[in-house]
Amino acid sequence: MSEQKDEEKVSELVKLKAMEADVKLMCEALDKRESEFNKSIAAHDKAIVTFNKKVKLVSASDSFNRMVVLVDEIYTMYVAQHGDAGGLYDSIKLLLDSRSRYSAQPAKK
């Protein structure tokens, strides 16, 4: 009877060792998948940063080009009205000052 119990214990220990080995293999596979997933997330984040930089550059470039066109139109209209560009700077400064004061006022309810 004692030998049978010893054999059962040995059998159970063998089963536990086999389960432990299976769990270790599963953990290693999971660690590998997690590492690959983290690498793909890092690559994705890097791609997003690169994309955002490109979009901002294009956006800044478009904004600058639009500003140049508007300044050219303002200059053309001012010179057509006054005959020369004298006083254009002061007029633009007054417009910008008025705009900043208007923007700084709290909205009326």
DSSP states of 28-43: HHHHHHHHHHHHHHHH
CA–CA distance, 78 with 86 (Å, rounded to integer)? 9
Q: Is residue 109 part of a domain?
A: no
Q: Is residue 40 part of a domain?
A: yes
DSSP state of 1: -
Name the amino acid, one letter, at 109.
K
Q: Where do we find the tokens 């005959």?
A: 83
Q: Is the pLDDT of residue 106 over 70?
A: no
pLDDT in tens, 44-88: 999 998 888 887 776 777 888 888 999 899 999 999 998 888 888
Q: Where do we find the tokens 């994705």?
A: 44
Q: Is residue 53 part of a domain?
A: yes
Range of the domain at 12: 2-104
| pTM for the predicted model, two decimal places | 0.45
Report angle CA 70, 77, 103 to the nearest 5 degrees.
50
Say how many domains are in the chain. Answer: 1
Question: Is pLDDT larger for residue 79 or for residue 1?
Answer: 79
* 55-59, 93-97, 103-107, range with greatest mean pLDDT: 93-97
Q: Is residue 33 part of a domain?
A: yes
CA–CA distance, 87 with 102 (Å, rounded to integer)? 23
Q: Is residue 45 part of a domain?
A: yes
Q: Is residue 9 part of a domain?
A: yes
